[in-house]
Structure 1
Amino acid sequence: MVGTEAKLKERIKELTCLYEVTSIIVNSDYDQLQTSLEAIIYCLKRAWQFDDDTEVFLQNGDFHIETNGFNQDLFLIKSNIRVFNKSDGCIQVGYPKDKYRPSDFLEEEKKLLENVALAVGNLLERKQVHDSEAAIKRQVERADRLHILGEITAGIAHELNTPLANILGFTELLKERMSDPNGIRDLEKIVDNAIFSREVVKKLMFFACEMPQQMKSVSLIPVAENVLKLLGPSLQSKNIKLTKAFSDTTIKLRADTVQLTQVLFNLIMNAIYFSPEAGSIDISIDGLGKMAQIRISDEGTGIAPKIGDKVFEPFFTTRPVGEGSGLGLSVVHGIISSHKGAISHGPNLPKGTIFTVDFPKL
């Protein structure tokens, strides 16, 4: 009778564990999955026959959780966690070797472990689906915003072009009639500011895809070298060390030379701006199969995770007021997309940022 009662007690513990694990999974917050998985391993600990001595370990690509006394010097049973039919971690349950034998594990406990590992795998699958859906939703919302903004921007750019041309034209006429040196100097300031405004309009039109492209075969390395030559004084003024690594000098792209130059100029200029005095900038160009990859890394302050998705949005800038329009990276993103390429950024450990640009090779 005692044996039957003990077995019944163990089955109740196992069923209770399954019920608790199911409840935890149903109520899981995908943003706080660590908490849910910790609760699951302690449910498993309580479900084992000798629960006071039981230790549990759960490992997944993103998580590493264990009970306080877990170590590898235990008799262990293990069940793999499968996510989308691929092994992605495991759950292990163990007893101390000085008190127990492998035979002390019950067959029902092994089945329980398999069921819990299956449930955890399902939870991780749902999290991945949830994250993918959220990412797709953000991309769609961003695409909608950019489309609407592109239409508005194109209209604004066209409206501004005519008055800016008039300002420049009439100012030049006034300069011809003006004899006062101070007046001429003031008119030159008007010209300079009108030209600056016209450049902003050009950037708006690039962003709105209103500038016609002249696509042709372009050698990538010479374009990069020309940009670096143009930016030589800026590099020298901050005493920045430049490291180049061009593994393939024969890379050709189908591209608009002016727009390709603008992409490289903006990205390298950004790296210079955010780099500290006597910092280092690394530029590499590699041929990777059908793609050409450009990597530009700096040792600046880096991009905070909370603004990582915003850096390519128009009019977003981390520069002080008056030092940037917030159009540089959005224009770069638009140009690269129109060339069927891709751009991304990541941390340059221990500090700084790496921008990676991929273009299809010709």
Structure 2
Amino acid sequence: MAENLPDSAVELDREALLALNCQLQERVSALTALHRITLALGSAREPPELLRLVVEEAVDLLRATEGVIYLVEPSTQRLVPQVAVGVEIERFRVFSLETDEDLVVEAAQSRVHRVSSASERSGREDGEVESLRLAVPLIAEGRSLGGVVLRRIGASDLSAVEEELLWLLAGHAAQVLHNCRLYGELEQSYAGPEPMMRVAAFAGRSPVEPVDRPLASSQIDQQVMAGGVVVIGDLLSDPRYSNKQVARERGFASMTSAPLRAHDKIIGTIRIYTGEPRDFSLEDQKLLAAVAAQAAVAIENADLYRQVEEKNRQLSESYERLRQTQRALVLKEKLALLGEMAATVAHEIRNPLTAVRGFAQRIARKRSDDRVCEYCTFIVEEVDRLNRVIEDVLDFARRLSPSRTPTDLNALVRGTVQLLQEELVQNEITMVPNLDLSLPKVLLDPSQIKQVLVNLVQNARQAMDREGTLTLATERRGDFAVLIVSDTGGGIAPEHLERIWEPFFTTRTHGTGLGLALVRRVVEDHGGRVEAESRLGEGTTFSIYLPVHPPPPDDAPAATSSDSASSDAPRSAP
């Protein structure tokens, strides 16, 4: 008898599933928000537009009621409010970084986010409410550009996902803001981008040096990884450049290189080569640094996107495994209860039913009253029906390993048809055989597969009620012998098609819901599988795949799969 599982085990899995589901949804929402923010900030070109986007996205991200962004005024070392969302900008004052004390001042100076909670009057009869005030710094190229201050109702702490996204938003916004400032400075001091565009055009050639090599492996990379921009006017004469032969073959004359810096971390370098000797100006170097910074943020975001996608994939797989485990636990619990019930049913019900049936038959033989005989016949029929229900339960509860022997599947089908022929004729059902005579013998348990076929044929008969066509076919498909049972009944509703394999599922007024359970379990014990296709109003087809050369049987029958089950479920819409 199967061992009962404690309710705590199933409940624990449910709680784990709910927690994983919430975590998965939060990660997906975070990924969507990050993608939207990156696109929005990447499309902003003017500082006012960028600042408003930053505050709006931060307010939306943390479900805040209001937000404001401060920028450092370099000449006076003051934090000046620039844009506010959800509140008037006039409510915010200017802070001195040197003398004033405030959450945003602390964040800008320490370069870490600051959080404070406070109680405020709500303006209603219920008194005070808790609010959370948060300041996060804007840092680019190692300098603090300002900070974002948010306020939301409720004193709950930030979740790990909220904190991670807020830092990414602030870092990305600071870098884009820094680049906007660089572009503004260059537009004033630099006539146009054509010279740099001509330099960038050479980027389409093959790399001068091998792609897969450690960073800082050359003198140039060592200088760039230290944070500087390197300019080499003559590649053929400068001792820092080692691949002179390659440069000569490719026709490169000059080079400049800048670090790819993202959030104060250098993740790589970028190099630009020219075909003619060139002394890169300060404006050229600033523009390259801005392009490199933007590229670094894009690369880091792409890597983050990949990591989040991978994390979501892992969470999805874990969620699916836990879901299947829970289904298996529930099924095991049902089967354990079924085993206990079967033993009780066999002992407590079958013997009294035998007595009732015998006495009803005896009364019918000794009484000439037609009405009494009719009642006795009805009693016998109902007792027989109850015995069939008991047999279904007992058959499903006792799991017997198949006793395989080489069997002619076509002969087994013919024998089963003869057994059920009269029942089919009485219901005006036409049986159409379509047997593959070249089918080899299959190693199977004849009695178990015969029971499978009987269950499917009886289901088909009940689905068609009267006047239908039942097709029985066999064929070879690869390594499988396939037994097909097809009817022209009312079909199975799409919402029921998956559930027909669940234990005890049925919408009929009669039946235990175990017929298809037995079918699927027997077929899987033979190393095969069963498939069902159905269309409402057209009929249903069951295909039984049995391996022609099955693997050696295990010492013990395989554990029931999480979906192995169900029944003589309805073959027509309820």
The two structures have a TM-score, normalised by structure 1, of: 0.60
Q: Distance in 2 between matches of 1:276 and 1:182?
A: 28
Query: 1:12-161 maps to which residues of 2 (within 5 A)?
Result: 30=24, 38-48=32-42, 107-108=295-296, 109-161=298-350
1:170 is aligned to 2:372: no
1:317 is aligned to 2:506: yes
**CA offsets per residue over residues 276-333 of structure 1, 9 Å max, x none?**
998876655444565544454567443544773464313x2122x2x43323223334
Distance 1:183 1:277, change over 3 A: closer
Distance 1:194 1:237, change over 3 A: closer
Q: Is the 8 A contact 1:346 1:355 kept in 2?
A: yes
Query: 1:273-284 maps to which residues of 2 (within 5 A)?
Result: 273-274=462-463
Q: Is the 8 A contact 2:432 2:470 kept in 1?
A: yes
Q: What letter corresponds to residue 502 of structure 2 in structure 1? A: F
Q: Distance in 2 between matches of 1:41 and 1:281?
A: 56
TM-fit CA distance, 1:129:
1.6
Q: Distance in 1 between matches of 2:470 and 2:305?
A: 49
TM-fit CA distance, 1:133:
1.6
Q: Distance in 2 between matches of 1:179 and 1:212?
A: 50
Q: Secondary structure at the match of 2:506?
A: coil
Distance 1:131 1:211, change over 3 A: closer
1:330 is aligned to 2:517: yes
TM-fit CA distance, 1:145:
1.6
Q: Distance in 1 between matches of 2:515 and 2:27?
A: 38
Q: Is the 8 A contact 1:204 1:327 kept in 2?
A: yes
TM-fit CA distance, 1:156:
0.7
Q: Out of 150-159 and 278-287, give the one that drifted further.
A: 278-287
For 2:440, the equivalent position in structure 1 comes to 250
Q: Secondary structure at the match of 1:357?
A: strand
Distance 1:244 1:167, change over 3 A: same
**CA offsets per residue over residues 17-67 of structure 1, 9 Å max, x none?**
xxxxxxxxx996647987666445423423536699xxxxxxxxxxxxxxx
For 1:224, the equivalent position in structure 2 comes to 413
Q: Secondary structure at the match of 2:445?
A: strand
For 1:182, the equivalent position in structure 2 comes to 371
Q: Is the 8 A contact 1:293 1:357 kept in 2?
A: yes
Greater C-alpha radius of gyration:
2
For 1:308, the equivalent position in structure 2 comes to 498
Q: Secondary structure at the match of 2:513?
A: coil
Q: Out of 134-143 and 237-246, give the one that drifted further.
A: 237-246
For 2:56, the equivalent position in structure 1 comes to none
Q: What are structure 2's unaligned runs of at least 5 residues?
A: 1-19, 47-196, 204-290, 550-574
Distance 1:148 1:51, change over 3 A: farther
Q: What are structure 1's unaligned runs of at least 5 residues?
A: 1-25, 53-99
TM-fit CA distance, 1:116:
1.0
Cα root mean square deviation, aligned: 4.5
Q: Secondary structure at the match of 1:149?
A: helix
For 1:270, the equivalent position in structure 2 comes to 459
TM-fit CA distance, 1:120:
0.8
Q: Out of 159-168 and 226-235, give the one that drifted further.
A: 226-235
Q: Secondary structure at the match of 1:48?
A: helix
Q: Distance in 2 between matches of 1:307 and 1:253?
A: 30
Q: What letter corresponds to residue 331 of structure 1 in structure 2? A: L
Match among 374, 383, 387 for residue 198 of structure 1:
387
Question: May I ask how many residue pairs the two structures share in their alignment?
Answer: 286
For 1:74, the equivalent position in structure 2 comes to none
Distance 1:110 1:27, change over 3 A: farther
Q: Distance in 2 between matches of 1:150 and 1:280?
A: 37
